[in-house]
DNA sequence: GAGTTTGAAACT
DNA sequence: CAGTTTCAAACTC
């Protein structure tokens, strides 16, 4: 029955008929996507969607079957002889209406896939393109659209080819509904998750990819080892899932079945075609798929691993080795954290030396560090770089380090779960307040890593490139201090003040703040602390603390924070980062001796900072043009206060510690300032807002808190504070954040389940 | 990128 | 503790 010619003709005719049919027109009218010629669709699909050579589902049999199926159905490809494989099984397996619907989808997928499988010339190109497609949100979106479009067309065509014209309309409608739902899901996920969100599609895609892989014998072996693109996508999806782990996991699990369904669906058409089926193959395919899904479900997998996988897809073994090396570094030094960053490849190379430095330090720390200042070093270093280090570092800071490591491995690496991350961060902060900013950075880093992870796969996308460049630039430009005369042994040096060793990115001269001079560093620290025990303490203190320490009633406002010693600004009006209060995102307090204070976060004289909340972020963003501060106030009234430290870092990209921030957040922050339009598509922004804005710091809450509750309270909530406050005062805020994020997955899941 | 401004840190 | 100097970040051009 299935001579290539026949199939081809049938497909072609059906396709043309379908296009002319009212249903098709209706679909087109509904669909935002413009109809694409079949050939074009294939092409675009190939280029955009399936680039990944490696796949979990590398089973040759499956692949061959898939290929054959596809070929038999749609493609005129001479290879068709392979077609018959699945035919019988389909008939046997499903007969009900659901089956029909499924078959439609399958047919659609097949149609989409077929071109690929048929086009062998493209196969060689796959490896290159593969990595790109999954990661880039944009690319994914496009590809998904294309896929959908093609599906719509193909779906109609395939059934007709099977002489099911009577059911075509019904099917198409169902199919269209499905497509719409899927599309919505895809959009939701893609917009938020950017990475291969349409995992369902991806699953099917994976199959296609596998089929390609089969052609490439050399890669077959690798396939087993190599990470499945779909898996990666899935993992990324999981990672990106909201904080509500349990819920998300459930959703994922529920979803995964659909993926299985997809596989069966694909076979459906074949069954109808009456071709011979290989039940064993089918079973195997299911097994493989299920196994792959299970693999995907293994959330515990470290993020680094994920990244590694992602890179694997697109890169050679050597690359892989490099990654592994980086992973090893992760274990030991903060630098490794870079491996967590998506664009690692570049970063890794760039940072290798850097990594070594930290490692070194860690080594010293283990044996040598007394723990006085060093623990700060370790902690700060870890967080500052925005990379999660499993610090072997300091004996003294062991617990802290452990927490971090756990966070990195579990929370971040595995799921990038913001909630978890925040929790970890919170806990971490409790331990190490000194590194407020850095912790924030870490948090941002989490987000960044998430976003990065999404884009990781799509290396070709402009976005990805940009991001990569940013990362690289950061890594290269992650200069911290620029000390010329202090030898980085005074508090002038930001690195030293933060308890960090200077690293390569620093532009300091005659730097002694390095592991090799650890003794000197420690001694200097000791001297400084002897003069001022709080010299290395966090400059910004949580409200509770500050209130306690300074007896400042105004600081009792929830989520409020104050600079430890207060500023002494005279000319900056506390509106620039010269002011440490402003820089720390906190209002001035009675401790400040500033003149003409206009601190947006809270004036010394008790001026309500509420007015500035929005402006501040803007001011920071714009490098403080006070003129512009109120400019968009109305527009951004919803905006939360973003700690200047964070913003400044990202905006300037100067400080390495903020590297993560710089990379990811910067855009996010910028966008984040456009709050009123809550753009789901821009997940980074979303996350940031959620994380940055403490529960009680929402505009309404702020106002309420400020005026009635604490008349004197000048400040709302500094970003710093958010984290801390959440950790100590309100865990609820964190939980809420999670809830918000959890919203995303729900929509996607629901439609699928309903349809299925 | 160079120069200026600024305010914290260090010093007296 | 106050005043001055030093310093490096922040900022401007």
CA of A457 to C1' of B5 (A): 45
Protein footprint of strand B, defined by Cβ closer than 7 Å to any strand atom: A 490-492, 497, 528, 531-532, 535, 539, 565, 567-573, 576, 578-580, 594
In DSSP notation, A452-483 reads: HHHHHT-SSSHHHHHHHHHHHHHHHH------
C-alpha angle A523-A524-A530 in degrees, rounded to nearest 5: 90
Which nucleotide does the CA of A497 lie closest to, via C1'? B9
Mean pLDDT for A397-423 is: 32
Between CA A72 and CA A64 the distance in angstroms is 12
- Is the predicted pLDDT of residue A28 greater than 50, yes or no? yes
- Is the predicted pLDDT of residue A508 greater than 70, yes or no? yes
Give the number of other Cβ atoms within 10 Å of residue A628's Cβ: 15
Nucleotide B8's nearest residue (CA vs C1') is: A492
What DSSP element (H or E) covers A645?
helix A644-652
Are the C-beta atoms of A513 and A501 separated by less than 8 Å?
Answer: yes
Are the C-beta atoms of A721 and A586 separated by less than 8 Å?
Answer: yes
User: Quick check: helix, strand or coil at residue A88?
Assistant: helix
Residue A436 has what pLDDT?
39
Residue A237 has what pLDDT?
34
CA of A419 to C1' of B10 (A): 42
* Structure token digits, residue A97: 């209406």
Residue A606 has what pLDDT?
65
Mean pLDDT for A649-672 is: 35
Between CA A253 and CA A256 the distance in angstroms is 5
Residue A141 has what pLDDT?
38
CA of A490 to C1' of B9 (A): 8
User: Quick check: helix, strand or coil at residue A656?
Assistant: coil
* Structure token digits, residue A354: 């850097």
Output the CA torsion sign for A304, A305, A309, A315: positive
Which residue, chain included where needed, has tokens 């043309």?
A: A16
The DSSP code for A593 is -
C-alpha angle A728-A730-A731 in degrees, rounded to nearest 5: 90
- Is the predicted pLDDT of residue A584 greater than 80, yes or no? yes
- Is the predicted pLDDT of residue A578 greater than 60, yes or no? yes
pLDDT, greater one: A391 or A165 = A165
Percent of chain A with pLDDT over 90: 1
Model pLDDT for residues A167-180, shown as the tens digit of each residue: 445 555 555 555 44
What is the pLDDT of chain A when averaged over all its residues?
Answer: 46
Residue A518 has what pLDDT?
87
Between CA A277 and CA A72 the distance in angstroms is 13
- Please list, in sequence order, all residues whose beta carbon lies within 8 angstroms of the beta carbon of residue A393, skipping any fewer than 6 positions away: A333, A334, A358, A361, A362, A365, A366, A369, A374, A377, A378, A381, A382, A401
Between CA A71 and CA A83 the distance in angstroms is 6
CA of A604 to C1' of C2 (A): 23
- Residue A277: what are its φ and ψ, rounded to 5°? -115, 150
CA of A280 to C1' of C10 (A): 69
Residue A530 has what pLDDT?
85
Mean pLDDT for A673-687 is: 33
Percent of chain A with pLDDT over 70: 14
CA of A490 to C1' of B10 (A): 9
Give Dmax over CA atoms of chain A in angstroms: 91
Are the C-beta atoms of A703 and A696 separated by less than 8 Å?
Answer: no
The DSSP code for A611 is G
Nucleotide C11's nearest residue (CA vs C1') is: A623
* Structure token digits, residue A406: 């756990």
Mean pLDDT for A378-388 is: 38
Q: Which of A422, A319, A334, A331 is nearest to A377 (CA)?
A: A334
* A541 strand-pairing partners: A562
Which residue, chain included where needed, has tokens 């694909």?
A: A266
* Structure token digits, residue A315: 């890169």
Are the C-beta atoms of A653 and A662 separated by less than 8 Å?
Answer: yes
* Structure token digits, residue A562: 């104050």
Which nucleotide does the CA of A626 lie closest to, via C1'? C11
CA of A635 to C1' of B2 (A): 37
Which nucleotide does the CA of A485 lie closest to, via C1'? C7
Which nucleotide does the CA of A652 lie closest to, via C1'? C10
Q: Which of A287, A355, A297, A289 is nearest to A326 (CA)?
A: A355
CA of A690 to C1' of B11 (A): 45
Cα separation values, A754 from A108, A170, A247, A751, Å? 20, 17, 17, 5
CA of A535 to C1' of B7 (A): 17
Nucleotide C7's nearest residue (CA vs C1') is: A492
Which nucleotide does the CA of A593 lie closest to, via C1'? B7
CA of A691 to C1' of B7 (A): 31
Between CA A112 and CA A270 the distance in angstroms is 15
Which nucleotides on chain C have any atom < 7 A from a protein Cβ? Answer: 6-12
Model pLDDT for residues A418-439, shown as the tens digit of each residue: 333 333 333 333 333 333 343 3
Which residue, chain included where needed, has tokens 């990115």?
A: A505
CA of A566 to C1' of C11 (A): 22
Protein footprint of strand C, defined by Cβ closer than 7 Å to any strand atom: A 480-488, 490, 492-494, 508, 576-578, 583, 623-625, 648, 652, 654-655
CA of A117 to C1' of B10 (A): 72
CA of A474 to C1' of C4 (A): 38
Between CA A188 and CA A119 the distance in angstroms is 31
Between CA A577 and CA A572 the distance in angstroms is 8
Between CA A693 and CA A733 the distance in angstroms is 9
* Structure token digits, residue A320: 């892989």
CA of A533 to C1' of C3 (A): 23
Mean pLDDT for A695-720 is: 35
Q: Which of A649, A743, A730 is nearest to A697 (CA)?
A: A730
Between CA A201 and CA A462 the distance in angstroms is 23
pLDDT, greater one: A276 or A586 = A586
Read off the pLDDT band of A83 (50, 70, 90).
very low
Residue A534 has what pLDDT?
83
* Structure token digits, residue A736: 């809420």
Model pLDDT for residues A463-473, shown as the tens digit of each residue: 444 444 444 34
Cα separation values, A16 from A13, A269, A469, Å? 5, 19, 45
Q: Which of A507, A450, A505 is nearest to A334 (CA)?
A: A505
Give the number of other Cβ atoms within 10 Å of residue A74's Cβ: 32
Between CA A467 and CA A472 the distance in angstroms is 8
Which nucleotide does the CA of A571 lie closest to, via C1'? B6
CA of A578 to C1' of B4 (A): 14
Between CA A322 and CA A620 the distance in angstroms is 38
Residue A174 has what pLDDT?
56
Which nucleotide does the CA of A577 lie closest to, via C1'? C10
Which nucleotide does the CA of A531 lie closest to, via C1'? B10
Which nucleotide does the CA of A532 lie closest to, via C1'? B9
* Structure token digits, residue A286: 């299911």
Residue A503 has what pLDDT?
84
* A491 strand-pairing partners: none
* Structure token digits, residue A684: 């980074």
Between CA A157 and CA A721 the distance in angstroms is 59
Model pLDDT for residues A596-632, shown as the tens digit of each residue: 888 888 887 764 444 444 344 444 444 433 333 333 3
* Structure token digits, residue A740: 């918000």
Which nucleotide does the CA of A572 lie closest to, via C1'? B6
Which nucleotide does the CA of A563 lie closest to, via C1'? B8
CA of A492 to C1' of C8 (A): 6
Which nucleotide does the CA of A623 lie closest to, via C1'? C11
Note the Cα A233 to chain centre separation in Å.
11
pLDDT, greater one: A460 or A541 = A541
* SS (HEC) of A271-311: HHHCCCECHHHHHHHHHHHHHHHHHHHCCCCCHHHHHHHHH
- Please list, in sequence order, all residues whose beta carbon lies within 8 angstroms of the beta carbon of residue A708, skipping any fewer than 6 positions away: none
Which nucleotides on chain B have any atom < 7 A from a protein Cβ? Answer: 5-10
Q: Which of A202, A299, A181 is nearest to A747 (CA)?
A: A181
* A277 strand-pairing partners: A86
Mean pLDDT for A713-725 is: 35
Mean pLDDT for A715-728 is: 36
Which nucleotide does the CA of A564 lie closest to, via C1'? B8
- Is the predicted pLDDT of residue A236 greater than 60, yes or no? no
Mean pLDDT for A140-144 is: 38
- Residue A123: what are its φ and ψ, rounded to 5°? -50, -45
CA of A159 to C1' of B3 (A): 74
* A561 strand-pairing partners: A542
In DSSP notation, A363-408 reads: HHHHHT--SSSHHHHHHHHHHHTT--------STTHHHHHHHHHII
In DSSP notation, A557-585 reads: STT-EEESS----SSSTT-STTSHHHHTT
Mean pLDDT for A499-517 is: 86
Residue A693 has what pLDDT?
34
Nucleotide C12's nearest residue (CA vs C1') is: A623
């Amino acid at each position: 029955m299935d001579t290539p010619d026949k199939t081809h003709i049938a497909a072609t005719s059906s396709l043309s008929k379908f296009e002319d049919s009212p249903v098709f027109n209706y679909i087109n009218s509904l669909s935002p996507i413009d109809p694409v010629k079949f050939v074009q669709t294939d092409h675009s699909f190939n280029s955009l969607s399936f680039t990944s050579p490696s796949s979990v589902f590398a089973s040759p049999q499956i692949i061959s079957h898939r290929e054959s199926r596809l070929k038999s159905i749609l493609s005129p490809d001479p290879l068709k002889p392979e077609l018959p494989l699945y035919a019988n099984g389909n008939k046997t397996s499903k007969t009900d209406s659901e089956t029909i619907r499924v078959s439609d989808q399958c047919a659609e997928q097949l149609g989409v896939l077929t071109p690929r499988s048929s086009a062998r010339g493209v196969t060689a190109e796959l490896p290159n393109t593969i990595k790109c497609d999954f990661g880039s949100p944009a690319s994914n979106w496009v590809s998904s659209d294309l896929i959908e479009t093609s599906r719509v067309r193909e779906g109609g065509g395939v059934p007709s080819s099977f002489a099911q014209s009577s059911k075509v309309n019904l099917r198409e409608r169902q199919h269209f509904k499905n497509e719409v739902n899927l599309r919505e899901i895809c959009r939701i996920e893609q917009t938020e998750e950017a990475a291969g969100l349409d995992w369902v599609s991806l699953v099917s895609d994976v199959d296609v990819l596998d089929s390609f892989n089969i052609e490439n014998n050399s890669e077959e072996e690798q396939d087993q080892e190599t990470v499945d693109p779909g898996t990666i996508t899935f993992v990324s999806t999981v990672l990106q899932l909201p904080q509500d782990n349990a819920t998300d996991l459930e959703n994922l699990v529920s979803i995964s079945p659909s993926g299985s369904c997809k596989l069966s669906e694909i076979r459906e058409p074949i069954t109808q075609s009456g071709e011979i089926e290989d039940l064993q193959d089918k079973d195997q395919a299911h097994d493989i798929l299920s196994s792959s899904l299970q693999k995907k479900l293994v959330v515990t997998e470290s993020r680094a691993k994920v990244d590694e996988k992602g890179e694997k897809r697109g890169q050679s073994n050597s690359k892989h080795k490099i990654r592994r090396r980086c992973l090893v570094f992760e274990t030991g030094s903060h630098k490794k954290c870079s491996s967590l960053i998506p664009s690692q490849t570049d970063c890794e190379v760039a940072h290798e030396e850097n990594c070594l430095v930290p490692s070194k330090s860690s080594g010293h720390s283990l044996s040598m560090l007394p723990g006085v200042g060093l623990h700060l070093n370790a902690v700060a270093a870890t967080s500052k770089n925005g990379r999660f280090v499993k610090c072997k570092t300091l004996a003294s800071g062991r617990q802290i380090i452990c927490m971090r490591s756990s966070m990195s491995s579990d929370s971040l690496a595995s799921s990038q779960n913001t909630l978890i991350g925040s929790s970890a961060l919170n806990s971490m902060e409790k331990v190490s307040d000194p590194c407020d900013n850095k912790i924030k950075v870490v948090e941002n880093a989490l987000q960044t890593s998430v976003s990065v992870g999404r884009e990781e796969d799509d290396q070709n996308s402009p976005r990805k490139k940009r991001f990569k460049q940013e990362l690289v630039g950061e890594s290269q430009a992650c200069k911290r201090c620029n000390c010329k005369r202090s030898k980085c042994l005074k508090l002038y040096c930001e690195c030293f003040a933060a308890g960090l060793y200077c690293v390569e990115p620093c532009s300091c001269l005659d730097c002694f703040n390095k592991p090799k001079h650890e003794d000197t560093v420690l001694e200097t620290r000791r001297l400084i602390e002897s003069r001022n025990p709080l010299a290395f303490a966090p400059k910004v203190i949580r409200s509770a603390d500050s209130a306690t320490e300074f007896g400042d009633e105004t600081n009792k406002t929830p989520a409020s924070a104050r600079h430890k010693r207060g500023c002494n600004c005279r000319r900056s009006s506390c509106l620039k980062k010269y002011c440490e209060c402003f820089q720390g995102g906190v209002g001035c307090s009675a401790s400040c001796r500033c003149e003409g204070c206009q601190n947006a976060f809270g004036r010394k004289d008790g001026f309500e900072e509420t007015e500035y909340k929005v402006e501040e972020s803007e001011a920071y963003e714009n490098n403080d043009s006070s003129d512009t501060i109120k400019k968009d106030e109305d527009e951004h009234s919803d905006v939360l206060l973003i700690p200047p430290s964070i913003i400044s870092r990202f905006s300037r990209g100067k400080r390495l510690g903020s590297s993560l921030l710089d990379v990811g957040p910067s855009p996010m922050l910028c966008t984040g300032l456009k709050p009123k339009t809550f753009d789901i598509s821009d997940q980074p922004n979303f996350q940031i807002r959620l994380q940055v804005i403490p529960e009680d710091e929402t505009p309404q809450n702020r106002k309420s808190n400020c005026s009635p509750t604490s008349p004197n309270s000048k400040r709302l909530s500094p970003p710093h504070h958010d984290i801390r406050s959440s950790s100590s005062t309100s865990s609820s805020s964190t939980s809420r954040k999670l809830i918000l994020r959890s919203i995303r997955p729900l929509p996607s899941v629901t439609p699928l389940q309903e349809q299925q």
